[in-house]
Structure 1
């Protein structure tokens, strides 16, 4: 296996482009090794920077982790909005409402399709979510808040579909997470999109 050599004499990049480069390199490394296996030197090498140069952009290793997670959430929100044909999902999600023509089932299907096209990012979140169960993990609070937010949004969107919208929200989240783990472990024998469609037939029956 050839080990890539990263040069530090690259042309200077605009700040926004450099930050994106750092976010993407870090996401890839965490997906491969987990947060505890990540070194700032590896990120710096992959981006053609020194460690002090990297710290100038991100501040600290913990700060870099949170920045990567927020960056990926923003990217996913933009992609999901494009799939659903809407301009912005921030406001509709916050209020428990979706634009005309977009319902909870369609939104979930779009989420699954998005994830099926980016296994490395899904692996990144799966690894970090498991690691962050430890209260000492720097992303512990982030993932706890993210889970509660997702459940609240799903429940708000399910209020007209079920007499127990919170229960349906938990079932949806559990099914998505479980199917994704099975898919990541055996992608050759698991079709994530089809598995979700089969599950949705049961979860959304008579709804």
Structure 2
């Protein structure tokens, strides 16, 4: 059985538009199949390109994965900044300094709201994060650093509300990850935002937000 046919689009798109097209097609395919199930031919077909044409833009399969992750990080940082009402934001997964006035509970709520609006992207990261537990995976170092940066950011923010900031940071990340997996499996019966608010009442009980 063959998959859907995609038209070879010989139109020369502007470089930025073509790159965005490649990033979005790749993200969708990885969310569906995982990185190991991804083929460059599939990405090329989705974008109306030949494989050599695709390689001209991304260099290699590993290079494509890195480009997708960097693209999503930039998009998510802009979205998160908007939710937090700030002009610029060094997202917690990059290790940069946060703007003043952003509290831990506010940051967590914004992250959950952002994720609730993009289930396909959350699925992409969930699949890749699980796959990248293998040291040989090309995103292994990326996700190790990502987790370290998020924990460091949450720990720094938690110092204002608890005497055990690192423990609270780990609990918050674990709760977010767990709720997201349940939501992805049954989005019709799970409300990610409401589930997080219910969990936050417990995790932040007796703490100043």
**Same fold flag (TM > 0.5):** yes
CA distance in 2, matches of 1:61, 1:94: 28
The residue that corresponds to 1:149 in the other structure is 149
The reply to whether residue 69 of structure 1 matches residue 38 of structure 2 is no
Aligned alpha-carbon RMSD (Å): 1.8
Partners of 1:80 and 1:111 within 8 A in 2:
yes
The residue that corresponds to 2:113 in the other structure is 113
The residue that corresponds to 2:198 in the other structure is 198
Partners of 2:28 and 2:120 within 8 A in 1:
yes
* Gapped regions of structure 2 (runs ≥ 5): none
Structure 1 residue 86 displacement after superposition: 0.5
Partners of 2:183 and 2:191 within 8 A in 1:
yes
The reply to whether residue 50 of structure 1 matches residue 54 of structure 2 is no
Partners of 1:86 and 1:99 within 8 A in 2:
no
Q: Where do residues 7-156 of structure 1 align in structure 2 (5 Å cutoff)?
A: 7-90=7-90, 94-95=96-97, 97-100=98-101, 102-156=102-156
Scaled by the length of structure 2, what TM-score is found?
0.93
Structure 1 residue 3 displacement after superposition: 5.2
* Gapped regions of structure 1 (runs ≥ 5): none
The residue that corresponds to 1:159 in the other structure is 159
Residue by residue, what CA displacement relative to the aligned partner does 1:96-135 show, whole Å, maximum 9, x if unpaired? x4433x3111111111011111111000000000000001
Scaled by the length of structure 1, what TM-score is found?
0.94
CA distance in 2, matches of 1:184, 1:74: 23
Residue by residue, what CA displacement relative to the aligned partner does 1:33-63 show, whole Å, maximum 9, x if unpaired? 0001000000000001000000010010011
Residue by residue, what CA displacement relative to the aligned partner does 1:62-96 show, whole Å, maximum 9, x if unpaired? 1101110111111111000011110111189623x
